[in-house]
Amino acid sequence: MANKKWPENWQDVTPGCIVSEPGSASQYHTGDWRAQKPIWDNTKCIKCGVCYIFCPEGCIIEKEDGFFEADLDYCKGCGICAHECWPLAIKMVEEG
Amino acid sequence: MGKRKGMEIALAAAEAAALCRPDVIAAYPITPNTHIPEHLSDIVAEGRLDAEFICVESEHSALSACMGASGAGARVFTATSSQGLLYMAEIMAIASSMRLPVVMALGNRALSGPLNIWNDHSDIMSQRDTGWISLFASHGQEVIDMMIQAFRIAEDRDVMLPVNVNLDGFQLTHVVEVMNFPLQEEVDAFLPVYKPYASLHPDHPCSMGTLGLPEIFSEATRAREAAIVNSRKTILKVWDEWEKRFGRRYEPIESYKMEGAEFAVLTMGSMGETAEVAIDALREKGVPVGLLKLKLWRPFPYEDLKKAVKGVKSLIVMDRAVSFGGPGGPVASEIRSALYDEPSRPDLTNYIFGLGGRDVTVEDFIAMIDKVRLADKKRPKEHYEFYGVRGE
Amino acid sequence: MNTLKGYPVGLIENFDLYAPKLVDREEYFSPGHRACQGCGEALAIRLMCKALGKDTVIVNATGCMEVISSMYPTTAWKLPWIHVAFPNAAAVASGVDAALKALHRKGRIPDRYVKTVAIGGDGGTVDIGLQALSGAMERGHDMLYVCFDNEAYMNTGIQRSSATPFGASTTTAPAGVASMGNKTWKKNVPEIMVAHNIPYVATACQSYPLDFMNKVQKARAIKGPSYIHCLSVCPTGWRCPSEACIKMGRLAVETGVFPLYEVENGKYRMTVSMPEKLRPIQDYMKHQGRFRHLTPDQIKIFQERTNLEYKKLLNKIEHSKSWAEMSAE
């Protein structure tokens, strides 16, 4: 939880612990969790978008050229994208 | 100014709530409080109030629906008693922690068991730590006034806390009185349209009711405590404004015939009216006794209490509830604790009486006061004593 | 590794390969949430939000999704969101719906349709939340309720719920020498919802994303109550590898354990076509540690009951008529 910023004092806690910054969870980089990461082989990729749609994190981005990659700040290395890829264009590779 | 009408106080409570133009009412019937939601549904059905009346399937859902509606930015109202209050107990603390201005009319009724539908204060006393502002009405006019004040206090940006208005079940809810009802224009001038601090709408998305880890819970709780303690300022301001607009004065503790009083009786709720008659009778006989009627229960009125009991030698605190195995009735144990550090404080006697609708008469009050007044000073003092219990 | 291998039924008829490219790219559920790797429920939430769009208010019961997404002072939600307690998502949503109605009528909020959506896990829906759900559906509030069913009280540590399948091992109905795990059949909450006579009830699964999103959009358009029961694979609780999440959902459908259908004004319809012959349930169970202890006899009971329930559903699909049709007769 190194990225978390706790309010300094009780006076800084918002009323009712409301969070008014939508999507602020993205301050926390879940990418630190993973043991393996997905690597795309764009020679095999057919740009179908199945990996994009099945990512529970929503961290697979379509690049300008139409190919896909995972945002490694958030990818937890679950392996769903590699498992679901039709032409087997994604491989899970050990981290580190 | 206002309209004088005689009606059952529960119906008056509903009329007062309706004057405040709530947007959503979600309530479940429970004796003795049922006439409040019933009458409100009548008012809505007659077209006199533009509101959504949700016939929820339980009290837990009643307060939950109120919270959802309040979160969406609506003015909300609910009402319940006793077992219903306990069923929504889980949500009571959440409502105050989420700083949503729900207003609730509580027809005080004994907690089971045995099952009992009549009046005592055990229901609200079981919820005193949930962080709601609590007002106690002792007669019909106070019910109307406090109901309207409650919305104003709850929605104030410096407060943003839920408020419950306590009225004794049957002793007040089912009693007919002549009362002065403020006019709709007067209430509209006193109570503006609700502008929430934050609300659930896609134009300004926010997340309400988030998860608080140990790293933040203490700070969040401290902030909540500060909110209810500071609400006192707003409550006094609202009461000042009420006096200016409607000519009726409210104080956290109202003193009655306290000039030169050596003995003082402290009551909450409708028993105060009966006590007044007893005090009058004793004062006739020259007994230096006075009455303190506590109207603001939460936040606890420390300053007003200390001021009120200055010079009093013996304070008699009436409790209409038991704290089983505890150090006295709920009210007395809090009063005792509030006065503990004072360099000079009165002797304290705690009577627990009037449970489950047991009637308390003028004679009872006189007897209780005399027992203290004429007691042998060397008599060992109990922390509390039950009054009017056969075999005691 | 690829699920296409060894499948008797091709995926193409149920899944237009390039359809994901047509899906709205807006993300309303941001990454950075604390769900487990491979969480089917988080995926389902992400898909649901895409289908709902931004004019939505989410009411969330206590559970996995609420806890992983709303750790103060951050939130993964880009939609307005409220959480109150465990059993009352439907009740809170009733209040939100009533408030939006009243405020709209009184001109205090912009003149635009905003949908109220209540979500909860199987815990907060089929057990502790059933009363509030029944009340809200009966009163006919304009709200969609989506139950994300991962078949146990996952957030508190995989305890048994009434949505836990027969024979599954959970931490409060564990498998052991003296017990086979969960002894009861899964409570059929979609049927309970149909009995409330609401206009739209559907089952869905995150492994069939377009089917799920279409159902969400259909429900969103209804000005009244609707209910979607979404099977959400939990690799942690079901004890299967995280990458098998989508595969488990498909197997649940293809073995007939969780067929995907919808009931629109009383008319039943299968929305994802099923194989001619259902796959044997061993295909589904063998990948999941929660079923590992079952004996052939117990699996046989499960298989027979699955076949029966499937037959019941097919019967309804064949014979049910919409209310409009029946009134006109």
The domain C12-321 is classified under which CATH number: 3.90.950.20, 3.40.50.12160, 3.40.50.970, 3.30.565.10? Answer: 3.40.50.970
Please choose, from the candidates B30, B77, B27, the residue with its C-alpha nearest in 3D space to the C-alpha of residue B55.
Answer: B27
Mean pLDDT, rounded, of chain A: 92
Chain C contact present for B91, CB below 8 A: yes
- Say what the pLDDT of residue B379 is: 61
B window 144-203, beta carbon within 8 A of C: 193, 199-203
Chains that touch C (3 or more CB pairs under 8 A): A, B
- Say what the pLDDT of residue C11 is: 45
Q: Is the pLDDT of residue C85 over 50?
A: yes
Task: Summarize pLDDT for B138-159 with one digit per residue, the tens.
Answer: 999 999 999 999 999 999 999 9
User: Distance between CA atoms of B27 and B24, rounded to whole angstroms?
Assistant: 10
What is the band of A6 on the pLDDT scale with cuts at 50, 70, 90? confident
Task: Summarize pLDDT for B285-333 with one digit per residue, the tens.
Answer: 999 999 999 999 999 999 999 999 999 999 999 999 999 999 989 999 9
Q: Mean per-residue pLDDT for C232-252?
A: 96
Contacts with C77 from chain B: Cβ below 8 Å? 205, 207
Assign 3-state DSSP to chain B and report helix, strand, coil percentages, each to 5: 40, 20, 40
| Structure-token match 């091709």, residue found | C10
**Residue C216 CB partners (closer than 8 Å, separation 6+):** C47, C48, C51, C52, C144, C146, C204, C228
C window 277-306, beta carbon within 8 A of A: none
What is the band of C16 on the pLDDT scale with cuts at 50, 70, 90? low
Task: Summarize pLDDT for C61-79 with one digit per residue, the tens.
Answer: 999 999 999 999 999 999 9
Interface size A-B, in CB pairs within 8 Å, comes to: 53
- Say what the pLDDT of residue C15 is: 54
Q: Is the pLDDT of residue C230 over 60?
A: yes
Contacts with C138 from chain B: Cβ below 8 Å? 57
Give how far A7 is from chain C: nearest CA, Å.
Answer: 8
CA distances, C30 to each of C33, C34, C37 (Å): 7, 11, 15
Chain A contact present for C6, CB below 8 A: no
Contacts with A71 from chain C: Cβ below 8 Å? 31
| Structure-token match 């409550």, residue found | B235
Yes or no, beta carbons of C99 and B50 under 8 Å apart? no
In a domain, A56, yes or no: yes
Contacts with C101 from chain B: Cβ below 8 Å? 52
**Residue B185 CB partners (closer than 8 Å, separation 6+):** none
Measured between CA atoms, the residue of chain A closest to residue C248 is: A80
Tell me which residue range forms the domain holding A88.
Answer: 30-94
Yes or no, beta carbons of A17 and B198 under 8 Å apart? no
Paired tokens of C138: 């009966």
Yes or no, beta carbons of C246 and A84 under 8 Å apart? yes
Yes or no, beta carbons of B58 and C139 under 8 Å apart? no
What is the band of C13 on the pLDDT scale with cuts at 50, 70, 90? very low
CATH number at residue A74: 3.30.70.20
DSSP β-bridge partners for residue B317: B266, B350
CB nearest A77 (choices: C17, C37, C235): C37
Helix H or strand E segment including C119: strand C115-121
Phi-psi region of B66 (alpha: psi -120 to 50; beta: other; left: phi over 0): alpha
- Say what the pLDDT of residue C18 is: 75
Mean pLDDT, rounded, of chain C: 93
Task: Summarize pLDDT for B192-249 with one digit per residue, the tens.
Answer: 999 999 999 999 999 999 999 999 999 999 999 999 999 999 999 999 999 999 999 9
Mutate which: C3, C12, C26, C74, vs A, most A CBs within 10 A: C74
The DSSP letter of residue C71 is B
Q: Is the pLDDT of residue A4 over 80?
A: no
Quick check: A84 and C248 in contact, CB under 8 A? Answer: no
User: Distance between CA atoms of A25 and A36, rounded to whole angstroms?
Assistant: 22
Quick check: C198 and C224 in contact, CB under 8 A? Answer: yes
In a domain, A14, yes or no: no
Task: Summarize pLDDT for A10-63 with one digit per residue, the tens.
Answer: 999 999 999 999 999 999 999 999 999 999 999 999 999 999 999 999 999 999
User: Distance between CA atoms of C52 and C221, rounded to whole angstroms?
Assistant: 10
- The residues spanned by each domain of chain C are 12-321
Quick check: B110 and B118 in contact, CB under 8 A? Answer: yes
Contacts with B74 from chain C: Cβ below 8 Å? 95, 98-99, 102-103
Yes or no, beta carbons of A28 and C74 under 8 Å apart? yes
Task: Summarize pLDDT for C143-193 with one digit per residue, the tens.
Answer: 999 999 999 999 999 999 999 999 999 999 999 999 999 999 999 999 999
Measured between CA atoms, the residue of chain B closest to residue A13 is: B220
Yes or no, beta carbons of C98 and B66 under 8 Å apart? no
Between B392 and A69, the more confident residue is A69
Yes or no, beta carbons of B91 and C84 under 8 Å apart? yes
Q: Mean per-residue pLDDT for A83-88?
A: 93
Q: Is the pLDDT of residue C3 over 80?
A: no
Give how far A44 is from chain B: nearest CA, Å.
Answer: 41
What is the band of C203 on the pLDDT scale with cuts at 50, 70, 90? very high
3-state class (DSSP) for residue C268: strand
| pTM of the complete model | 0.95
CA distances, C204 to each of B36, B81, B119, C211, C321 (Å): 43, 42, 51, 7, 21
User: Distance between CA atoms of C174 and C23, rounded to whole angstroms?
Assistant: 41
CB nearest B206 (choices: A4, A13, A20): A20
Helices and strands per DSSP (H, E), number in chain C: 12, 10
Number of other CB atoms surrounding residue B389 within 10 Å: 11
- Say what the pLDDT of residue C144 is: 98
Number of other CB atoms surrounding residue B204 within 10 Å: 11
**Could you report the predicted ipTM of this complex, rounded to two decimals?**
0.95
In a domain, A24, yes or no: no
Quick check: C182 and C168 in contact, CB under 8 A? Answer: yes
User: What are the residues of chain A with a beta carbon less than 8 Å away from any beta carbon of chain B?
Assistant: 4, 6-7, 9-13, 15-20, 22
User: Distance between CA atoms of C75 and A28, rounded to whole angstroms?
Assistant: 10
What is the band of A79 on the pLDDT scale with cuts at 50, 70, 90? very high
CA distances, C235 to each of A95, C7, C239 (Å): 21, 21, 5
What is the band of C5 on the pLDDT scale with cuts at 50, 70, 90? very low
| All structural domains of chain B | 3-246 (3.40.50.970), 253-386 (3.40.50.920)
Q: Mean per-residue pLDDT for C189-200?
A: 97
| Structure-token match 């704290």, residue found | B323
3-state SS, one letter per residue, for B52-119: EEECCCCHHHHHHHHHHHHHCCCCEEEEECHHHHHHCHHHHHHHHHCCCCCEEEEEECCCCCCCCCCC
**Residue B44 CB partners (closer than 8 Å, separation 6+):** B25, B50, B51, B53
Q: Mean per-residue pLDDT for C234-244?
A: 95
Counting the structural domains of chain A, the total is 1
